[in-house]
Amino acid sequence: MFSAVLFVPLLVFLAFVGGIWFAALVTVEVVLGLREFYRMMMIRGMRPSPRLGILLGLALCGLSFAGTSSGTNLLFTAGLLIVFCAELLRSEGERGMEPMAVTLFGVLYVGWLSVHLVFLRELPRHLNQPYAEGARYVLLAFFLTWVCDTAAYGFGLWLGKNRLFEAVSPKKSVEGSIGGLLATMAAAHVARLWFAPFLDPVHATVLGVAVGVFAQVGDLAESLLKRMAGNKDAGDLIPGHGGVLDRFDSLYFTAPLVYYYLKMAIFHAY
C-alpha cells in the first residue's frame, strides 16, 4: 500500500509533464524489468546476455521517445546481428540458439511492449493535438489495467471456486476473471465521464472488454514465466508487491492495445 501511495502521484505527475521525464520513468521500468527477467531465466539454467539485452532496451527507449520508426527498424536489425555476433564470442561449449532467443525475447517482451507507454504519451504530437492530451491516454491504460487486476483479485477472494488455469496460476479463478472483466467495462465508462471524453459509449465498452481480457492474459503470461523459473515472485523490489514484472505484466499487453485502439479506431491514424 505504501509503495502505491508513492508511485501513483509520481505517475500522474510525470504523465502530465511528459517529455523526457516520463520517458525516463519508462526507461527505469524497462531496465529493472529486464534485470528481473534475465535473472529468472538464469535461475532456470538458461544463458542470456543480460548486459546486451539491457543495452538494447535502453536504445529502444531512446528511439521510441525520438519517434523515428526507421530508427526502431534499424535497432531491431542491428540488435539481431549483434546478438548473433555476441554468441560467436562465447566459448564453444556454451554456444546455442537458446541464449540468443532468450536475450531477444526479453527485449521484445519487456522493452518493446513497455515503450508503447511512451508512444501513448507522445501520440498527440502525431495527431496535431495539444500535447497535454497524452496524459489522458497514458492514465487510461493504467486506470483500466489496475481496475482489472484489483477487481479480479477481489472477486477471486470473495467468490472464487472454479480454477481458471490451474496449471499456470493455481490461485486465479473463473469468478475472479469475470469480475475483473465486468469491472473494467464499468471503469471504461467511468473514465469516459471523468477524464477520457474522446471515448463514446461504444468505444468505452469495446475497449473495456479488450483491456479486461488482455490484462488477464498478460498476468497469466508472467505467471507462466515465473512457474518456468520456479519463482513465486519475479522480484522483491516493491515491498508487498513483488518485482517490477509483477506490477507491469498486465500493462505489457494492455499498453499496446490501448495505443493501437486509440490511434486506429478512434483517431483513424494509420
C-alpha cell at 128: 496535431
The pLDDT value recorded for residue 252 is 97
The pLDDT value recorded for residue 231 is 64
Is this structure's pTM higher than 0.75?
Answer: yes
In this prediction, residue 119 has a pLDDT band, given cuts at 50, 70 and 90, of: very high
232-266 per-position pLDDT tens digit = 655 555 554 468 999 999 999 999 999 999 999 99
The pLDDT value recorded for residue 169 is 79
88-111 per-position pLDDT tens digit = 877 655 667 888 999 999 999 999
137-162 per-position pLDDT tens digit = 999 999 999 999 999 999 999 887 88
CB count within 10 Å of CB 94 equals: 9
Q: Could you give the CA distance from residue 248 to residue 251 in angstroms, rounded to a whole number?
A: 5
The pLDDT value recorded for residue 189 is 98
The pLDDT value recorded for residue 160 is 78
The residue whose grid cell reads 479506431 is 265
The pLDDT value recorded for residue 93 is 56
150, 159, 179, 225, 231 from 153: Cα distances, Å: 5, 10, 9, 20, 20
The pLDDT value recorded for residue 233 is 54
The pLDDT value recorded for residue 232 is 60
φ, ψ for residue 173, nearest 5 deg: -120, 160
The pLDDT value recorded for residue 165 is 74
Confidence check: pLDDT of 68 > 80: no
Q: Could you give the CA distance from residue 111 to residue 30 in angstroms, rounded to a whole number?
A: 6
Confidence check: pLDDT of 56 > 80: yes
The stretch 177-182 carries a mean pLDDT of 96
